[in-house]
Amino acid sequence: MEYYNKTLCVTFDELTSGATPVIKADTLRQNMKRGNIQCARQGKGEGNYALYVYASLPMKYRMMFEAKYGKPADVLKAQELKEWVKEDGDARAFYEAFEYDLNGVQTRLSQKLIDEYTSNASVLKMLWERMNELTSTTHALGGGRRGDLWDIVFTQSEKLREVTSHTLPKNLARLKEKMSQFKKNGYESLISGKIGNKNTLKITEDAGRRLIALKRSRVPVLTDSQIFETFNQECEAKGWKPLKSVRSLKTWLESAAIEPLWHDAVYGEMSAHQKFDRRHKTQLPSMRDALWYGDGTKINLYYRDDEGKVRTTSVYEVIDAATEVFLGFCISDNEDYEAQYMAYRMAIQVSGHKPYEIVHDNQGGHKKLQNQQFFDKLCHIHRTTAPYNGASKTIESVFGRFQMQVLHKDWRFTGQNITAKKDSSRPNMEFIEANKDKLYTYDELKAAYLKARTEWNEMAHPATGEQRIKMYEQSENPETPVVTTSNMIDMFWVQCDRMSTFTSSGIEITVKGNKRVYEVMTEAGVPDIEWRRKHTYERFVVKYDPYDFGSIRLYRKDKAGELRFERVAEPYMVIHRAIQEQTEGEATFIRQQQKATEESRIERQVAAKAIEYAEGVAPEQHGLSTPDLKGVTADVQRQIDRRTRKYSKEPEELSLGRVTKKVSKMDWSDLEEQPIVVDFKKVAGKL
């Protein structure tokens, strides 16, 4: 309510605001159109508000206005007083920033006290201005009684009480004292002595340190009641005030500023870290394959083993973070590198794309995969989660909901983690034992878990309401390349920890305690004898596919440590030793290999003898003989001798003694029939 152009007016808000308005907004507009209520000023333009002539209001609305706000004269008077007392902004800022010590904890004023002290300071400031005005006027008029001035100020204070709701003294003497303190000490003088008065504190700084030390004590470990008793026994000697109750002690110990000082000693540092340290607020990716999580967990279903015992097992899962789709898994009792490998391989095969990022924990199996640069081949970037920080793993939340929404429906449910507090999160062991014979077998457990995963993938995602698997299939990520066959070999063929030697019995590798032997073939079922001749007892780096042991790949390692592909090796040919058990194919294979072995021995001997003769070190060149091969036929030996020229005539012709002996037995008639010409220089040169 205010005067506008010397006319008493009311505002739009005064008429229409509140739970019981004087008049509804629509009714007000209709009365204006009909001319029943006169608008003095329209609420157009910045800072303007609509005003309505009070006298034009119908009587029933004026009566409702006075019932709600009071008579217009009183409203205006109070309004004038309120406008006269302007809020002291500096006072509010002071009280909002004010802190005091409450049992060792820095505490701010409540909003109620801030408003009260701000109002009191604003009124006192106005009262001092009024006193100064009255004093100046009195002096100008020739003086007057000081007491009369204080009476005027006191009356003014009481009038303002109704308007501002200040809590200044209602007694003149006490008001004068309060005004004097305010003038001398400022805003702080209005704060009650009960607030921040250290003399009233029961727990001083030294006493608080002792209480914290007792709470942290591990030798002995004390309960809150024992801390209370111990502290009160020490109070008199140290000049502390005794505590009145265990409840007040617990309230102090559990206050926000005190609990971090002892929580780690009682519950562990990781508990304190998770409870008090700041956590990141993150947003999950919007595209598939942007982030995969890999982690192992227990399969929360009981099964019976071969001995009829109730057991559980574990699973390693790979999950797409954006859609919560389960991509790959491997059921295994141990979260070893093979289970992890199998799960990631399945995930890649299901996805058909390499993920951009993989997040996993730092278990031993992951370390072995990292040492073989497995994750470097699999994704653009990979990292480990913070240890002992389950809250940071999105996959932990997915596992929890999967257990409660899907696995929980199966009566074989094992329950969630043992720390779960809900009864519904625990198994009914009596029922499990009573129906032990109807539990899944291990193979049935695998089938049931696969069915549960499928159900989860086909359920609606909580954020979008769409099926998870459809979200995944319909999403695209341009930064994740399609996986090719060569990619699969590069990513998922595992390298043996140690190099292996190719011997006459092939090359042997051991995977999870199982020995496997391989050899190089020219074609299916035909060993490569020529390759064997050049590489037997050479060492190779071996890579194998854990999904398919039908072949391995052999690599040479150069001086720089780089791998160079050599050949693919296949399982070593195994035949029956007993002729009775040999198949027709095996008998043929044996004959072929015998012949190939003979040829190999022949070629090896011929090549070696050629070198001997060329270098002049053959035993025959020195009147000695090379031993015949053992275990071969005479035909094989003759072939070797023929190809090494052992029985050729050339050695006789090159012998100087034999040539001269032959010449000495000839006569002139022989020369006429067949002249003999001997080039001794040539013979000597060859010898």
| pLDDT per position as a tens digit, 39-52 | 988 877 777 788 88
What's the rounded Cα separation, in Å, for the pair 118 and 411? 65
Please give the angle made by the CA atoms of 411, 394 and 346, to the nearest 5 degrees. Answer: 75
Are 114 and 103 spatial neighbours (Cβ–Cβ below 8 Å)? no
pLDDT in tens, 49-97: 888 888 788 888 888 888 887 777 665 555 545 445 678 889 899 988 8
CA-nearest of 169, 84, 173 to 133 is 84
Residue 283 to residue 221: CA distance in whole angstroms? 43
Asked whether the CA dihedral 79, 85, 86, 90 is positive or negative, the reply is negative
Predicted TM-score of the model (pTM): 0.53
**42-51, 348-357, 570-579: which is most confident:** 348-357
- Whether 571 shows a pLDDT value over 80: the answer reads yes
φ/ψ (deg, to 5) at 523: -155, 175
User: Which position has the higher pLDDT, 193 or 660?
Assistant: 193
**Tokens, residue 151:** 């009476």
Q: What does the CA dihedral 518, 520, 524, 530 come to, rounded to 10 degrees? A: -150
pLDDT at 389 over 80: no
Question: What is Dmax (Cα atoms) for the chain?
Answer: 186
Burial of 136 (0-12, 13-18, 19+ CB in 10 A): exposed
- Backbone φ and ψ of 509, nearest 5°: -130, 155
State the Cα–Cα distance between residues 334 and 331, nearest whole angstrom. Answer: 9
Are the C-beta atoms of 552 and 543 separated by less than 8 Å?
Answer: yes
Least confident of 20-24, 124-128, 491-495, 628-632: 628-632
- Cis link prior to 72 (omega < 30° from 0)? no
Contact (Cβ atoms closer than 8 angstroms) between residue 328 and residue 348 = yes
Predicted local confidence at residue 41, as pLDDT: 87
Highest mean pLDDT pick, 96-110, 363-377, 547-561, 582-596:
547-561
Give the least confident one: 9-23, 100-114, 507-521, 543-557: 100-114
Task: State which amino acid sits at residue 183.
Answer: K
DSSP single-letter state for residue 250? H
Residue 404 contacts residue 416 (beta carbons within 8 Å): yes
- Taking only the tens place, the pLDDT of each residue in 454-496 is 999 999 999 899 999 999 999 999 989 899 888 887 888 888 8
- Lowest-confidence segment of 154-158, 572-576, 584-588 by average pLDDT: 584-588
DSSP at 419: T
Whether the pLDDT of residue 147 is over 70: the answer is no
Res. 605 pLDDT band, cuts 50 70 90: confident
Q: Look at residue 405 in the predicted model and tell me its pLDDT.
A: 92
Compute the average pLDDT of residues 512-519: 90
* 656 has a pLDDT exceeding 60: no
Give tens-digit pLDDT for 424-439: 567 778 888 889 899 9
Element containing residue 532 per DSSP (H, E): helix 529-535
Q: Which of 284, 299, 293, 295 is nearest to 453 (CA)?
A: 299
DSSP string, 569-615: EEEPP---SSGGG--HHHHHHHHHHHHHHHHHHHHHHHHHHHHHHHH
Distance between the two ends of the chain, CA-based, in angstroms? 141
For tokens 């009024």, the residue is 130
User: Please, how many CA atoms are within 13 Å of residue 503, restricted to the half-sphere of its CB?
Assistant: 7
Alpha-carbon distances, residue 54 vs 41, 76, 405, 567, 612 (angstroms): 12, 13, 65, 104, 134
pLDDT for residue 202 is more than 80 = no
**Which residues on neighbouring strands pair with residue 208, listed in sequence order?**
none
| Range with the poorest average pLDDT among 62-66, 559-563, 585-589 | 585-589
Instruction: Flag whether pLDDT at 519 surpasses 80.
Output: yes
Name the residue with higher pLDDT: 410 or 634: 410
**What is the length of the chain?**
687
C-beta separation of 509 from 500 below 8 A = yes
DSSP label at residue 677: -
Residues 6+ apart with CB under 8 A from 96: 108, 109, 114
Q: What is the mean pLDDT of residues 659-668?
A: 60
Distance CA 416, CA 404 (A): 8
Name the least confident of 69-78, 279-288, 529-538, 655-664: 655-664
Q: How far apart are CA 120 and CA 649, in angstroms?
A: 138
What is d(CA 575, CA 579) in angstroms, rounded to the nearest whole number? 10
